[in-house]
């Protein structure tokens, strides 16, 4: 779905997890320097998918990402974007939805934002805890998701949403 609020200038404090859809041209503040050298106007596009709190949502989010990239002519990013989307979506559903019991309309939204040859994968969830790059022991199952995100992306980070929630994002380049 294309973002309907093109050109809108919003700060993170104005968004909530219920309404966050990036305006066309949105880019994570901490990754703006990656846009240096891109001519204006560059290819701008965004697409958003709402994940349901079900196990098959991870596969569906991967399929959404693959289809979106194919439509944008960026199929060479497919494998890396699918892995990043899987890791970020898994974390959002596993950790970010813990607040859903108190917030019955809480949701997780995956947005893909294209700027030229780069794609930002952004996941908004109702959790307020910052993502942590863990160093699990050799016998611990899991815990390496953000390491995978870090290794496949040019940069990754997160930003809080108001009155609750956060966006976790990663930028992947061709």
pTM: 0.82
Mean of the per-residue pLDDT values for the chain? 81
Cα 54 → chain centroid = 18
Residue 139, pLDDT above cutoff 80: no
Residue 120 has pLDDT above 90, yes or no: yes
Strands 166-173 and 118-125: antiparallel
44-51 and 155-160 as β-strands: parallel, antiparallel, unpaired? Answer: unpaired
Task: Please state whether beta strands 155-160 and 118-125 pair in parallel, antiparallel, or not at all (unpaired).
Answer: unpaired
Winning range, highest mean pLDDT, from 12-16, 68-72, 104-108: 68-72
**Residue written as tokens 């910052």?**
130
Decide which of 33 and 66 is more confident.
66
Identify which of 51, 56, 36 has the alpha carbon closest to the alpha carbon of residue 115.
36
Model confidence at 8, in pLDDT bands (50, 70, 90)? very low
């Amino acid at each position: 779905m294309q973002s309907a609020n093109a050109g809108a200038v919003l700060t993170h404090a104005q968004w909530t997890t219920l309404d966050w859809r990036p305006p066309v041209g949105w880019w994570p503040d901490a990754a703006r320097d990656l846009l240096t050298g891109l001519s204006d106007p560059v290819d701008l596009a965004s697409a958003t998918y709402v994940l349901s709190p079900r196990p098959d949502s991870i596969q569906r989010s991967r399929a959404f990402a693959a289809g979106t990239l194919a439509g944008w002519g960026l199929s060479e990013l497919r494998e890396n974007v699918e892995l990043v989307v899987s890791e970020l979506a898994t974390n959002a559903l596993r950790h970010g939805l813990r607040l859903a019991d108190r917030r019955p309309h809480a949701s997780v939204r995956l947005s893909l934002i294209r700027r030229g040859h780069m794609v930002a994968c952004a996941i908004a969830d109702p959790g307020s805890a910052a993502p942590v790059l863990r160093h699990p022991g050799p016998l611990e199952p899991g815990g390496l998701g953000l390491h995978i995100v870090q290794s496949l992306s040019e940069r990754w980070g997160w930003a809080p949403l108001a009155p609750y929630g956060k966006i976790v994002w990663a930028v992947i380049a061709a």
